[in-house]
Amino acid sequence: MTRRDFEAWLDHHIDQPVLVEKRVLSGGEITSKISTTGVLRKDRGEYLAGDSPIDFTDFAAADFAAEGVIVELDEGVELYIALST
């Protein structure tokens, strides 16, 4: 999906709880991961999970996966964003 499609997906889920994982990959395997949870919101054009910014400045592509979306960023870095309960 395009960046515009991804932002539309985020906008559709504003005020819902989300899990955000920033994953570093090597050889297709996850080598490290930082996770945060919180209610998805948008403040002055910036998306946040709780108080943590969701940085997708280096957006390359996105696609649906499992319960959420995987966003490809820089080479070897991706975000996984899923609705949580």
Q: How far apart are CA 44 and CA 67, in angstroms?
A: 27
How many structural domains are present in the chain? 1
Owning domain of residue 25? 3-83
Cβ atoms of residues 35 and 19 within 8 Å? yes
For residue 49, count other CB atoms closer than 10 A to its CB. 20
Q: What is the pLDDT along the chain (85 residues), one digit of tens a residue?
A: 999 999 999 999 999 999 999 999 999 899 999 999 999 999 999 999 999 999 999 999 999 998 899 999 988 999 999 999 7
φ, ψ at 74 (rounded to 5°) = -55, 165
Contact at 8 Å (CB) between 25 and 76? yes
51 contacts 64 by C-beta, under 8 angstroms: no
